[in-house]
């Protein structure tokens, strides 16, 4: 009887030991799967976030070029997809002049007035060298600008600079909250007014001069 009792205790301790070990194994596996899942999610989400943020550069370029061809309302509509409602936009020109506007409609009005005031009939904004850093629901982005502004068939203004952006994720969508444009140059390029088949004639008569675009001062 005593031996049976001892055997029962041994079996009970063995079962308890095995259950404890099994519990530890299950916990370890669960932890590995959970942590691994978190890393997988992060690695899958990060590239998607950067891609969505990068699209904002094209969004802005398309909106600006809509304004460049004279369609202010289309430009405003596109801007609303790129920026938060409380967005702050600043441009710093090569001569040190600055312009800050609050809200995309105000900025669109400013851009339109600059383009119209300088007689531009079309524009083309090219974006490149995009660098993005994401931290949870916020991000920073820099991108290079090369912009062409058509004055006539023989004259264009060319601007180069860098956009510095603060981007936020609101309700599942990335949008620019703050944008600063730092222009490094603003040049007028002109070609000969008379037709010539000689390449050297075009080279001699062509010119590039630094210009200061007419910048109207609007109420913010």
Query: N- to C-terminal Cα distance for the chain?
Result: 97
Q: How many residues does the chain have?
A: 220
User: What is the predicted pLDDT for the residue at 21?
Assistant: 57
The burial of 190, by beta-carbon neighbours within 10 Å (0-12 exposed, 13-18 middle, 19 or more buried), is given as: middle
Residues pairing with 91 in the sheet: 99, 181
User: What is the predicted pLDDT for the residue at 6?
Assistant: 56
Q: Which of 10, 111, 5 lies closest to 63, judged by CA?
A: 111
User: What is the predicted pLDDT for the residue at 203?
Assistant: 43
What is the pairing mode between strands 173-190 and 83-92?
Answer: parallel
- Chunk the chain into consecutive blocks of 10 residues (it has 220) and report each block's average pLDDT, rounded to whole numbers: 56 57 52 43 63 96 98 98 97 95 98 96 97 96 98 96 97 96 95 55 51 53
User: What is the predicted pLDDT for the residue at 3?
Assistant: 53
User: What is the predicted pLDDT for the residue at 192?
Assistant: 73
Helix/strand/coil percentages in the chain, nearest 5: 45, 35, 20
User: What is the predicted pLDDT for the residue at 27?
Assistant: 52
DSSP 8-state class, residue 214: -
pTM: 0.70
Distance of alpha carbon 50 from alpha carbon 25, whole angstroms: 38
User: What is the predicted pLDDT for the residue at 40?
Assistant: 37
User: What is the predicted pLDDT for the residue at 37?
Assistant: 44
User: What is the predicted pLDDT for the residue at 191?
Assistant: 85
Q: Which of 157, 20, 14, 177 lies closest to 88, judged by CA?
A: 177
DSSP string, 34-90: HHHHHHHHHHHHHHHHHHHHHHHHHHHHHHHHHHHTT-HHHHHHHHHHHEEEEEEEE
């Amino acid at each position: 009887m005593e031996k049976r009792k001892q055997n029962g205790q041994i079996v009970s301790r063995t079962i308890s030991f095995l259950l404890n070990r099994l519990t530890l194994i299950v916990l370890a596996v669960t932890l590995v799967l959970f942590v691994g899942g978190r890393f997988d999610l992060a690695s899958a989400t990060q590239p998607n976030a950067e891609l969505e943020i990068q699209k904002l550069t094209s969004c802005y370029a398309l909106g600006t070029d809509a304004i460049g061809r004279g369609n202010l309302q289309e430009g405003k509509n596109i801007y609303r997809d790129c920026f938060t409602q409380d967005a702050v936009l600043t441009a710093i020109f090569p001569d040190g002049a600055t312009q800050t506007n609050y809200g995309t409609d105000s900025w669109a009005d400013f851009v339109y007035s600059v383009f119209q005031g300088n007689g531009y009939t079309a524009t083309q904004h090219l974006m490149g060298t995009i660098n993005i850093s994401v931290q949870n629901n916020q991000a920073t982005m820099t991108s290079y600008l090369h912009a062409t502004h058509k004055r006539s068939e023989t004259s264009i203004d060319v601007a180069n600079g860098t956009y510095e952006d603060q981007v936020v994720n609101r309700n599942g969508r990335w949008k620019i909250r703050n944008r600063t444009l730092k222009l490094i140059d603003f040049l007028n390029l002109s070609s000969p007014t008379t037709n010539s088949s000689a390449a050297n004639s075009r080279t001699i008569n062509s010119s590039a001069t630094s210009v200061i675009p007419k910048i109207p001062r609007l109420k913010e």
